[in-house]
A = this chain, B = another copy of it.
Amino acid sequence: MPRLRLALVQMNPVVGDIDANAEAVLAQARAAQAAGAQVVVTPEMALNGYPIEDLAYRSTFIAASRAAVQTLASRLAEEGLGDLVVIVGHLDTAKTGALANLPDRLGVPKNAPTNSASVITGGRIVARYDKHHLPNYGVFDEFRHFVPGDETQIVQVGGVDIALAICEDIWQDGPSAAANAAEAGLLVVLNGSPYEAAKDDVRLDLCARRALEGQCALAYVNMVGGQDELVFDGDTIVVGADGELIARSPQFTEDLLVVDLDLPAATAAMPEPGTRFHGLRVERTIISAEPFPEAGEPLRPLPAERWDDLGERYQALVLGLRDYVRKNGFSTVLMGLSGGIDSTLVGAIAVDALGAEKVFGVSNPSAWSTEHSVGDAAELARRTGLTLDTVPIAPIFDVYQEALHLDGLAEENLQARIRAVIWMGLSNQQGHLVLACGNKSELATGYSTIYGDAVGGYAPIKDVPKTLVWELARWRNAWAASRGETPPIPENAIGKPPSAELRPGQLDTDSLPPYEVLDAVLDAYVERDLGAAEVVAEGFDPALVERVVTLVDRAEYKRRQYPPGPKISRRNFGRDRRVPITTGWRESL
């Protein structure tokens, strides 16, 4: 069997920064060549980043992307990397003729953008595959942005036929079957597959199933990094034709996975170019028909270890924050530190993401702040090394009240908003990005003050329910302990009953059900999108379900103005769950 050495580039592109992304691909191609690889594969849209959203329509962006692929081809050859076969993901525009084949029910976007993979070798683009299946659910809007391809692409390298696919192409039935029919020995899949909890298991199962269906090995290359609400976890995977895992990259970090595969030689059964399989036109490019010379035992790096369930989510939050800060040109962050568990966890995440010297906390005690709150914030600062500043709000509160005479909820919100004005003032003066510290349970029920604790450029734990906030805090401390480090989070912040401290003796449970119950109802209503009656059928108290559902429905206006934050659940508020603000729909029981 011919042997191929693959180099799978688990890279962290920046949306829109084509030049930097192309440089990164080039650097990885150099490393791949140095490692003796023959085939280099990048993630989906590696040159453009993902998702590019409506930049897909911009004619200048498409032109720059097309030029970048050509430049990459030239530079690879100029640098002596011309023998490599580099398969790179990028934005392109539909091939002539392809538009005529589109179903008439498809509104064709301006400029007919495609989500493409070009095969580069010898200084030229020798083949191009356009993604067939355009996901348009959950966080995806690809029917909005792209037109689908209608060709299958087979490239023969070292005597092995390689079929191409892009992300959703293997989640839907189709091209993998086509690859099988085409008798390819390897299916290469370029991906921009965002993280959500436990998705790595789903991906491995999928890759194994498609390999078995296609009777061919499968190399799955995913990107890594944060992009607005999304975090890409990497998790690049290679499986054999028997569905068994061969190699796997670590999560949440860049990696160049170099692996040898012994693959079946191309056979005469390969269909002729121009014929159709499964409705797709077959295109085939022979780059090299002779097997590459082998040298000894195949290179088979051990599959990287996985994070456990909590560690994985924590690392997703860290990477999401780090990349939002870095990719938006900030270097430091600032947050209000109340001593409560939410802001304390955000402080720990920020220190892990950026280093303590880049993290600034502000304590804003009011008349109702307890001693231990102020102390817990100070203890976090002491343990982690972040900088803590204190600005009491009482004098400001008093002068507002002389003019406004607010009471009740208006008075509570006033305190939260005074704090926000202080944070934003310090941010404007000193250049920090402000972090909002609200959790998903708060965001769901509207238990926060708009323009108060809700202000910020990024919200690291907005997709973390309160019960998971506690779990992650405990996990972080245990992880520290297991490595002989100081646990960053004061135990008192984890153990004490949650309170907004906006009036004397206030507790969250005055306004909300216990978080264990609340989060279970929210999981059913928000993440699984059940109706209220269906939630009750799972055994919850009808009055409580009605109360929670009403809170969620009424808080949509607040969520629309909330900062972005990393999706880690199956259904986040934002890209995943898009509901009207104005709605008369009331779930009935």
Contact of A529 among B57, B324, B406 (CB under 8 A): B57
Are B404 and A395 within 8 A (Cβ)? no
Taking a contact as CB atoms under 8 Å apart, the answer to whether A228 and B581 are in contact is yes
State A148–B136 Cα separation when bound (angstroms). Answer: 14
Q: Contact residue range for chain A? A: 35 or more
Name the residue of chain B whose CB is nearest to the CB of A430: B410
Q: Cβ of A457 and Cβ of B557 under 8 Å apart?
A: yes
- Find A396's partner among B53, B323, B396, B583 (CB 8 Å cutoff): B396
Q: What B residues does A226 contact at CB under 8 A? A: 582
Complex Cα–Cα for A395 and B402 (A): 10
Does the CB pair B107–A53 fall under 8 Å? no
Give the distance in Å from the alpha carbon of A413 to the alpha carbon of B428 in the complex.
8
Contact digits for A1-37, partner B, Cβ 8 Å, 1 yes 0 no: 0000000000000111110100000000000000000
A294: Cβ under 8 A from any B Cβ: no
Known: A404-B426, A421-B414. A585 touches B396 (CB 8 A): no
Residue on B nearest A279 in the bound complex, by CB: B104
User: Do residues A132 and B144 form an inter-chain contact, with CB atoms below 8 A?
Assistant: no
Beta-carbon contact of B428 and A410 below 8 Å? yes
In the complex, are the beta carbons of A529 and B110 less than 8 A apart? Answer: yes
Interface flag for A513 (CB, 8 Å)? no
* Residue of chain B at shortest CB distance from A418: B421
User: What string of 1s and 0s marks CB contacts (under 8 Å) between A403-434 and chain B?
Assistant: 11011111001100110111011101100000
B451–A425 CB distance below 8 A: no
A54 within 8 A of B: yes
| Chain B residue at smallest Cβ distance from A135 | B107
A-B contact pairs, 7 of them (CB 8 A): A16-B580, A61-B531, A400-B421, A404-B429, A406-B429, A410-B428, A421-B421
Q: List the 9 closest pairs (A to B, CB-CB), nearest first.
A: A17-B584, A60-B531, A16-B585, A410-B428, A16-B583, A410-B429, A16-B584, A14-B584, A143-B143
Residue positions of A touching B, CB distance < 8 A: 14-18, 20, 49, 51-55, 57-61, 63-64, 103-105, 107, 109-110, 132-137, 141, 143-144, 148, 168, 172-174, 226-228, 323-324, 327-328, 391-392, 395-396, 399-400, 402-404, 406-410, 413-414, 417-418, 420-422, 424-426, 428-429, 450-451, 455, 457, 529-534, 557, 560-564, 577-588
